[in-house]
Amino acid sequence: MFTIKPVLSSLMRSRTGPLLLLLQIVLSVAIVANAGFIIQERLALMQRSSGIAEQSVLSFSLYNFGEKVNLPQQLKRDLEILRNIPGIKAATSTNMLPLSGSGWSDRFIDGPDPETAKSTPGFAWYLGGEQMVDTLGVNVIEGRNFRADELNHSITDSGMKALMSAPLAKEVFGEESAVGQIMYQGSDNQIEIIGVVEVLQGAWVDSDQFDYSVIQNIELNENRSNQFMVRADRRDVPALEETIKQALRAENPDRVIRNFNTLRELKDMSYAFHAVMAGMLSIMIILLLVITSLGLSGMVMFNIQRRTKQIGTRRALGARKRDIVGMFLVENWLICFSGGLLGGLLAMELGSQLMTLFSLPMMGWQWPAMTVAGLLVITTVAVLLPARKAALISPAIATRTV
């Protein structure tokens, strides 16, 4: 029905317009493919499971500035108070907050001699009480959690027990079970792995070792400054800030209690840059498509005006309206395909440049392909409107001397 050859030859003759369209499509494909890929990558990052009941965990920090305060006693009291507040299901002190962008990281070694032992990858090192597992809502899939009577209060104590996140356990022990393994810190400190939790992310969302975590049975109680996490029903969380402040101030007024955040809020802050990046790129893609399709419509309209007589003659010679519309569509598709091909190549090249420059993973060919497909649809719509207008040109035009 549509004959490509005459369209092609007319394209070859009026070079500038089609060339501009081609250029525009090449650039658009390069941008949209790469931006789409980056967006998808960022969204995937944000959708990883943290293993935590993020919205049900409220965190805050507490600083004792009172002069004569018995810190270990105070911590014990504070935890008791927290655990007795109605609505709080579990509470723990912690050395770091998941997903917060700041925290402790460490490594274990697999033998007592630091010279010969092999080191594990770095992991987020959570130190807290026996309720940490329940507070976070992480899932112990193997072994067990530690008990209250197993708690240590200093990192040099003996009887260290730890839970590992499953990805870390797999990385360190392979198919072997992690439970029962002994790890070391320095030559003296032995740590027994007593359990594996399914998923627990660390503090740094951009870390390669984000899924590697360890929870150890240490409730640090010699610091003026402490962080806490409490678990409650999601609905009860908003009211808790005031309740907690009042309860803890009633016990001892000489402290600053602040930084109340749910872990979801911390997560959102940590991912804010990624979210903004994804948002900006999405807006960019939308605007780009709008501009491209508007520009395309404008050019086609101009083409039609310029070729009014030609179209009239074609009509006089028996072309049906759909033949005229078809002519413009074929023209558009030709440009779109060739532009898409070139643009796809440029996009892949750009992608590989980005990869080497910015440690981005390599973009698959699907991205440019999808972009070309999308552009095809959009440009078809953009061409269809002016093309239908062109089809209305009266054959009588041909007989007038214009």
Partner 1 sequence: MLTHYMDLGWRSIRKTPVLSALMVMAISIGIGITLISLNVFQLMSHNPAGERSSVLHMTQLWSQGPDSWEEYSANLTYQDTMNLRQSDIPVRSVASFRSGGAIHAEGSDAEPEMRSIRVTDSEFFAMFSVPFLYGGSWDKSVDMEAAHVVVINEDLNRTFLGGGNNVGKIIYLDVTPYQIVGIIDHWMPRPKYYDVTNGSMNFAESIYVPFSLTPHEEFPVWGNTSGWQFEPLITYNDRLLSEKTWIQFWAELPDEDAQMQFSQWLTSYVEQQQALGRFTDNTRTSWMRLLDVAEYLTDSEVVPEDNRIMIGLSALFLAVCLVNILGLLLTKFLKRAPEVGVRRAIGASRRQIFLQHMVEVSLIGLLGGVIGLVWAWFGLTTLADHLGMEEALGRLDPSMWIMTPSIALGAAMLAGMYPAWVICRTQPSVYLKSQ
- Interacting residue ranges for partner 1, rule: CB under 8 A: 16-17, 20-21, 23-24, 27-28, 30-31, 34-35, 38, 63, 65-67, 114, 154-156, 185-186, 189, 223-225, 255-256, 258, 269, 272-273, 275-277, 279-281, 284, 287-288, 291-292, 294-295, 298-299, 302, 305-306, 354, 357-359, 402
Q: What is the DSSP letter of 127?
A: E
Nearer to partner 1, 4 or 20 (CB): 20
Q: In whole angstroms, how close is the CB of 251 to partner 1 at the nearest point?
A: 16
Q: In whole angstroms, how close is the CB of 283 to partner 1 at the nearest point?
A: 8
Asked if residue 212 lies in contact with residue 202, where contact means CB atoms within 8 angstroms, the answer is yes
129: burial class by Cβ within 10 Å (0-12, 13-18, 19+)? buried
Q: In whole angstroms, how close is the CB of 388 to partner 1 at the nearest point?
A: 19
Nearer to partner 1, 18 or 195 (CB): 18
Helix (H), strand (E), coil (C) string for 152-218: ECCCCCCCEEEEEEHHHHHHHHCCCCCCCCEEEECCCEEEEEEEEECCCCCCCCCCCCCCCEEEECE
Nearer to partner 1, 144 or 306 (CB): 306
Nearer to partner 1, 20 or 182 (CB): 20
Nearer to partner 1, 275 or 316 (CB): 275
Q: In whole angstroms, how close is the CB of 24 to partner 1 at the nearest point?
A: 5
Q: At what angle do helices 308-316 and 272-306 cross, to 10 degrees?
A: 60
Nearer to partner 1, 277 or 341 (CB): 277
Q: In whole angstroms, how close is the CB of 90 to partner 1 at the nearest point?
A: 26
Asked if residue 352 lies in contact with residue 392, where contact means CB atoms within 8 angstroms, the answer is no
Q: What are phi and psi of 122, to 5 degrees?
A: -65, 150
- What whole-number distance in Å separates Cα of residue 123 and Cα of residue 207? 10
Secondary-structure percent of the chain, ordered helix, strand, coil, rounded to 5: 55, 15, 30
Q: In whole angstroms, how close is the CB of 123 to partner 1 at the nearest point?
A: 15
